[in-house]
Amino acid sequence: MHTGCYIDGEWVQPRSERILKNVNPSNTEDVIAEFPAATPNEVERAVAGAQKAFERWRRVPAPERARVVWRATEIARRRADELARMLAREEGKVLKEAQGEIKKGNSILEFYAGEGFRIQGRTLPSEVADVFTYTIRRPLGVVGLITPWNFPYAIPCWKIAPALVAGNTCVFKPAGLTPGTAAILVEVFEEAGLPPGCLQMVVGPGSTVGDAIVRHPAIQAISFTGSTPVGLGLNALAAERGAKVTCEMGGKNAVVALPGADVDNVVASVLNGAFGSTGQRCTATSRLLVHEELRAQVTEALVEGARAIRVGDALEEGSQMGPAVDARQFQTDLEYIAVGKQEARLLTGGGRPAGLEGGYFVEPTIFTEVEPEHRIFREEIFGPVLSICPIKDLEDGIAKANAVEFGLTASIYTPDIGQAM
């Protein structure tokens, strides 16, 4: 595995006093790699190289650009096991989930390879006689792609592939916690024949490297996935110079369960939504809004299911939930659990599993008697913590689902198609 930065087709080690340590969260004694962090100097080099590469890449026909992405898809499928194991080792996602993410990312690459044959403009009716009005699509230029640690393969795929197929060049900043997966993805594009400079990778702190990308006048667009506070700040900075921005940020997602719903289906879905990927998904199910008629039955089954989840090393066969990604997220989880114990009633979990002291493991945790004014109801935890809140009817469920600042995903379980719609 390469480490450091990838600039103009070469792997380079920045001259930096800050050393990044890539640690396995399942076993903190397992240090995967250590290397110097990128600085604004590496960002400047990466952007300059991407600008030069853009003048050549933009002239490559879109179908030919797409064929590079298609070759990358085939190479990534060949290296799928290596990618999954690296992802599980450095992020803590259990191997089965890691394998699923690699498949997802490869499907994204495949889809956008096809888009290279479908880049179309439009003809439009004109108000003036004998005037032909039409639009064509042209690439923007150099784009900045800032990705998180919780989906370190799929999210870079769905940012990098469309940018390249459209004719842009990329400065890619992966999360510092998951550089190994990002490095293999870059190797895949290199092997696929992507010209030097079209994909630059810089690994370093968001406060310096990310900020340098956002502020750089040559970066025409920025795509960011991460926390809401960081995304809002990034958007404000980019707006100062008129750069295009897309942000995908936090969530506090609700499941609404109404009378007549299939209880087994509700329980299975909520367990997967709340504790899959250790709850470290912006789309995780963090709130269950359940009708009084179902509450006792659903709650009992959820507690039983949560206690049956096998927490363990992400690479170990049979593990169903891995660790928090690092010490910071682990501490955040424990702090919110402490808050929850003061606000509501703890039903199960709430601590560290016995025998797993060598990693950042947290038990699947469920609170009940949670109300909308509680912090664990309103704030994104990003860990394996589920809050159960009673509702009286559909309208009450909708009101409570919307009683947070986030708007990302929601689900409803009901036999009434009218309610569902």
Which sequence positions are flagged as catalytic?
248, 282
Q: What angle do CA 104, 107, 111 make, to 5 degrees?
A: 140
192 Cβ neighbours under 8 A, 6+ residues apart: 68, 69, 71, 72, 75
In DSSP notation, 326-337 reads SHHHHHHHHHHH
Whose CA is closest to 380, among 300, 295, 284, 238?
Answer: 284
Q: Which long-range contacts (CB under 8 A, 24 or more apart) does 192-196 make?
A: 192/68, 192/69, 192/71, 192/72, 192/75, 193/68, 193/71, 194/68, 194/72, 194/164, 195/9, 195/53, 195/56, 195/57, 196/8, 196/9, 196/10, 196/49, 196/53
Could you tell me the two tokens for 51? 């600008």
Instruction: Give the separation between CA 254 and CA 286, rounded to whole angstroms.
Output: 6
Calpha distance 89→87 (Å, rounded): 5
User: What phi, psi does 48 have (nearest 5°)?
Assistant: -60, -45
